[in-house]
Chains A and B, each alone.
Chain A
Amino acid sequence: MGTYTPHTDDEIADMLAFLGLDTLDDLFAAIPEAIRLQGRLELADGVGEPDVLAHFTELAEANLARNDRMLCFAGGGAYDHEVPQVTRSLAGRSEFVTSYTPYQPEVAQGVLQAVFEYQTLVSRLSGLPISNASLYDGATSLVEAVNLGVAAAGRNQVWVSSGVHPHWRQVLATTAAGTGHRTTVVPLLDGTTAWPEPDPNDPPGVVAVALPNYLGCLEDLSVARRLCDATGAQLVVAFDPVAVGLLRSPGAWGADVAVAEGQPFGTALGFGGPYLGLFSTTTAHVRRLPGRLVGETVDVDGRRAYVTTLRAREQDIRRDKATSNVCTNQTLMAVTAAIQLSWLGTSGLVEVATRCARGARYARDGLLAIDGVEPYATAPVLREFALRLPVPADLLIERMAEAGFLAGIALGDHYQGGSHAVLVTVTERRTRREIDAYLAAFADAVRP
């Protein structure tokens, strides 16, 4: 049994007596006898914390693809970036970790101001003036962006480039069953989206595209922007918040909504979560914004203060007419991102993005020199790239694991010929020596 309850037996007896009850069972008199649990749960009795920690250490040992033992060349929405002790220590402060949603702003200025700083940073990255306090992950941000776009355009035909992360598109398809949005997935041609001519009788209400896209390719978003201008559709851009250190921002391309996966900013790979969805939009859409928004104000003494604002959009007030059902978000990861971005600063973001791009260039040149390894597409890439292989990608990944590398991600059935194609990522953490070893192992692993 756990030790997190403070009650002594005497105190329990006193409290029951105060209530006029004999036993703890009497507390549950309102529950009909017929449905009460007969006997015990089929769960083991509680054990000591050290025993539990030992169990988890064993589970952790069974994960061979752990970062400290296998060099990570996988990305695809989850990146092995440097997380300094500064970020770990500060983001791990229990005032941030163990507080609830800031419903009482007078005792939640810490979280509220950190989120205000986060919103500012995200807006500077995305190039759009309004950013919310985070959503669950990049996939959720895409879904919410599409919901906003459909509401704003008044049309539910949604064009999504297949360059958008395949899992995000799957989540969008799942939720479309409820919203009734009609989703058209637009294929890639040699790495960039081949937008069709819109049907004048059924033009898109939303156009969604990724920069760089899932294959790492850079797309000219002015094509998508013109498509939106011609049809009145809303442009949703899924961007890489690290690469944007070098690239024109979604706002500069004319995005109406920009979304991203925020994990690269100080959050552990963590087998996929908890991460955070970045979400930015134009001032015109602020009243359609999903999730929480922190605003600046003053207290009764005129001192600067922060508070969650434009609350009338939200589910607890607007209920079935709310812009979104989001309540709990990923605040701790937003605070973490604000800390990490301030640690990086202006020059650090450029430095990380540049080092990623240089590492990717170096690795890609080396890989393309290997017999039978070809580029998956010829469109320009930055920090991530896809390759065609002479062997199945799953086999390559298996062989590379034995050599100590997480080689990348198989494109699989998401893309044509994907069973023999792999997505490779290089972050600023990979040294030349590590990349050289990776290249040598790769050359061995693609031999038939």
Chain B
Amino acid sequence: MTGPAAPGGRAASAPLLGSDTEPTVFELSVPGRRAWSLRTTEVPEVPVADLVPVAFRREDQVELAEVSERDLVAHVTRLSHRQFSVDLGAYPLGSCTMKYNPKVCDAVAALEGLAGVHPAAPPSLTQGWLSLLVELERALCELTGMAAATLQPAAGAAGELTGLLLMRAWHQAHGSVRHRVVIPDSAHGTNPASVTLGGYQVTTVPTDERGCVDLDALCRVLDEDVAGIMLTNPNTLGLFEEDITTIARKAHDVGALLYYDGANLNAILGVVRPGDMGFDIVHMNLHKTFATPHGGGGPGAGPVAVAERLAPFLPGPRPVALEPDEEGTARFGWTVPPQSIGRVHGFHGNALVLARALAYLLVNGGDGLRRVAELAVLNANWLRTRLRGTFDAPYDRPCMHEAVLSARTLRDRFGVRALDVAKRLLDEGFHAPTIYFPLIVDEALMIEPTETESLQTLEALAQAFERIVAEAAASGPAEAHAAPHHTPVRRVDEARAARHLVATYDARH
């Protein structure tokens, strides 16, 4: 069914040269070499001894690497050649929404009028930034069906903790002392960790045979000691929680709040909104849904949107639109909500990430964002269906943005586990899917192709999976166990890293 076009997302042609170890920058260092170059300032020279009282002065120097600019550039460039990225090829890492990151957003983040603004400058000098933040907040509220939002949280987990502290403040303001937060057993690990930091205990509810929250089990643990329920919808199995309105009603009946983990928001943009499902608090991962680059593990941004009744508790200061001036020009300022839980970031959040997200949002527009969700779900279902005979499908029904499959039969019959499939896939020129998550699926392969991969890339990915399975069937697990073969290093000894901890170059000696 595919045409003759080559897959754009297969990276197997990448010229990752050689198999030598790249020395650390410390090994490249030669005392006396330097790369730095600073402005000529003509500020009067004062000896260090006169600048720093002796009690505070260090006697030695902080020993850093001493390299030439040329060697530094070569070193870091070689490191970059040892790194897989979305720009190189498909990255079907489930739950991470590794979609293409539009380059125009880089241009936005590089604008000197945005990047060169000090965070403590007063509002009269930062009207552009305030306007930008207000515009983003409104758009995010519209997309989630909520009333107001904070843009401060720096990542999804920071958003979760913010949401839990909002929950705590809300109950406290209503004279209600509660101790537990309910989360499903399929939840991301950040959920229970955030619950603990929020001062609550975790109550876990199981998943039913259809892959959704077990409603009966949920009802059994719901009482007036429950502060809230945290749900991801679609959940981490890639399935929509069809009983969501019932869950919302039951939560609200006992006075609990419903928290939406936005990790999987990409699937439902413009289709259904958390606010309309009955959620009270919603966090978003702008680095997933709104295509801001993940930067090898961060930065992210985790805004939290809330229903009207929770808005007075939001972190402050918040950017707000003020009355226009006499000439009708819009004006913006900061405000602290009356019952604010306080700051959750040193300044205003990961502002340049927020700017990138708004740019992505505006290029796509309301129509484009719905198309994003449609095609993300189309791609995931196509791949799920295409791989039906290749892997087990523990929950064999239409999915949303990602498909959770299992390598259980492959393991049982040929001794090839999900980990081996992941490593062998690297040899095929693709990043691996998420493996062994959700925890409730044996030998889980969690595949999220995202909407930016083409049909040709999906077909190539499917064929790569098929080859791995066929290889195991034909010649046993040896090749898969030894994989990857073509990567800058081969399978890494993770146990040794933990056993003999070497976390700095200096610890090596």
Contacts and interface: CB of A to CB of B under 8 A. Distances in A.
A68 B113 CA distance: 8
B253 interface: no
Interface string A114-133: 11110111011100011101
A325 B194 contact: yes
Given A110-B79, A246-B51, A339-B76, 8 more contacts: A27-B381, A43-B142, A43-B361, A60-B113, A95-B84, A295-B503, A304-B21, A332-B296
B178 interface: no
A206 interface: no
Nearest to B267: A28
Given A97-B85, A296-B497, A348-B34, A106 B423 contact: yes
28 contacts: A2-B363, A18-B382, A19-B381, A37-B272, A44-B366, A55-B362, A58-B128, A63-B114, A67-B112, A68-B113, A78-B119, A99-B84, A106-B423, A107-B426, A113-B82, A136-B298, A137-B346, A147-B197, A171-B346, A271-B347, A274-B353, A303-B489, A305-B489, A314-B189, A322-B192, A332-B295, A355-B43, A382-B51
B39 A123 contact: no
B58 A247 contact: yes
A40 B505 contact: no
B406 interface: no
B187 to A, nearest CB: 9
A342 B372 contact: no
Contacts of B239: 30
Contacts of B189: 314-319, 322, 327
B40 to A, nearest CB: 7
B35 interface: yes
Given A60-B114, A174-B315, A298 B454 contact: no
B43 A244 contact: no
Max chain A C-beta neighbours (<10 A), residue from B341, B368, B431: B368
A30 B277 CA distance: 13
A102 B58 contact: no
Contacts of A342: 25, 35, 64-65, 67, 72
B143 interface: yes
B93 A95 contact: no
Contacts of A167: 343, 346-347
A56 B501 CA distance: 47
Contact of B168 (A46, A84, A178, A295): A178
A155 B244 CA distance: 42
Interface stretch (B101-109, B216-224, B303-311, B464-472): B101-109
A119 B53 CA distance: 29
Given A1-B364, A296-B497, A362-B44, A271 B119 contact: yes
A343 B268 CA distance: 45
B142 A100 contact: no
B165 A174 contact: yes
A64 interface: yes
Interface string A299-329: 1110111110111101111111110111111
B188 A316 contact: yes
B57 A248 contact: yes
Contact of A178 (B80, B82, B197): B197
B147 interface: no
B34 A78 contact: no
Contacts of A61: 113, 128
B287 interface: yes
B64 A431 contact: no
Nearest to A100: B294
B299 A330 contact: yes
A186 interface: no
* Interface range for A: 35 or more
Nearest to B8: A6
The 6 A-B residue pairs with the shortest CB-CB distance in the complex, in nearest-first order: A60-B113, A272-B347, A332-B295, A46-B365, A110-B83, A272-B119
B297 A136 contact: no
B342 to A, nearest CB: 4
Interface string A1-33: 111111100011011101100001001111110
B69 interface: yes
B179 to A, nearest CB: 12
A355 B48 CA distance: 10
Interface in A248-288: 248-249, 252, 261, 268-275, 286
A184 interface: no
B121 to A, nearest CB: 4
Given A303-B19, A310-B498, A342-B25, A100 B366 contact: no
Contact of B1 (A14, A72, A89, A116): A14
A105 B492 contact: yes
B437 A98 contact: no
B157 interface: yes
A55 B51 CA distance: 46
A28 B271 contact: yes
B121 A65 contact: yes
Contacts of A93: 76-77, 80
A2 B374 CA distance: 13
A32 B348 contact: no
A171 B129 contact: no
A63 B64 contact: no
A55 B273 CA distance: 27
Contacts of A140: 154, 158, 345-346
A134 interface: yes
